[in-house]
Copies of this chain bind each other. A is one copy, B any other.
């Protein structure tokens, strides 16, 4: 493959999905540099690569243009995975997603332009579609009306990226992720449930009525799909939903977590309401026809990914 031995910069490379992407890139022979501010990333997630000397780690902040300008020197492709992972935070602090999302993406694109780097792979999200989209939602759905500030920052970043493609001859791979779960998870519903049960194994409080239902994708499926499409698709803009074939309800996730933790006597309690918080999307399922058409298919569907993740996280967190 001509892209092997290329130099990749992974933003948020010490984060959940970023750390798995790094494993893929190292396996594929890339020289890998990581920039991460360790706000939610963790060096332990990549110690197996840093200690083996396989990757270069730079602690840096994407909201600081100078940091990004340095990091993007002598790079062939930027894999932009960094983001504020806490979607709920936008209901309390309104500038986090703007700064760590949209403005960070601007800093990356501008630094790439100055340094002559023209390829960007971007971790976008299904939440750009908003809540009135048909299910499963195809990439061609419009208009995109995100309801969370996190979603707004992903849509804003997509627009910045395509404008750099149109104006400065960049090439982009944009992936709209379903809910990505798996080993090394640092946030999200399964992570939260396990921590709640660890604190109090007699009850599990679930935000909303439990009928929220979303599509889950296992993290290794996700990064393998990214690399497959990055290696096989070569349009100026390559935009793909990444997800699995079905959905899993929050109620079912709660049951699985209770089952796997062995706290069979825990009562599952619902706070009520159709969603976990303002800006949460109750039901989401991506159309993955376009991804499947590239020849990639997932190893896990939603429920299997949830069970696999629950087992991994119980082991990592320790009960």
Q: For residue A147, which residues in chain B have a CB less than 8 angstroms away from its CB?
A: 162-163, 165-167
A110 touches B130 (CB 8 A): no
Q: For residue A239, which residues in chain B have a CB less than 8 angstroms away from its CB?
A: 143, 145
A162 touches B110 (CB 8 A): no
B149 touches A167 (CB 8 A): yes
Minimum Cβ distance to chain B for residue A148 (Å)? 6
B148 touches A152 (CB 8 A): no
Q: For residue A144, which residues in chain B have a CB less than 8 angstroms away from its CB?
A: 142-144, 159
Q: For residue A128, which residues in chain B have a CB less than 8 angstroms away from its CB?
A: 159
Instruction: For A127, give the chain B residue with the smallest CB separation.
Output: B163
Q: For residue A139, which residues in chain B have a CB less than 8 angstroms away from its CB?
A: 142-143
Mark out the residues of chain A between 146 and 179 whose CB falls within 8 Å of any chain B CB in the assembled complex: 146-149, 151-156, 158-160, 162-163, 165-168
Instruction: Please report the C-alpha to C-alpha distance between residue A113 and residue B168 in the assembled complex, in whole angstroms.
Output: 36
A160 touches B152 (CB 8 A): yes
A98 touches B94 (CB 8 A): no
Minimum Cβ distance to chain B for residue A84 (Å)? 13
Interface residues of A (CB under 8 A from B): 90-91, 94-95, 98, 102-103, 106, 109-110, 113, 128, 130-131, 139-149, 151-156, 158-160, 162-163, 165-168, 237, 239, 278-279
Q: List 17 A-B contacts (CB under 8 A).
A: A94-B106, A130-B166, A131-B166, A139-B142, A142-B142, A142-B143, A143-B158, A145-B237, A147-B166, A148-B166, A149-B160, A149-B163, A149-B167, A152-B160, A152-B162, A155-B155, A156-B156
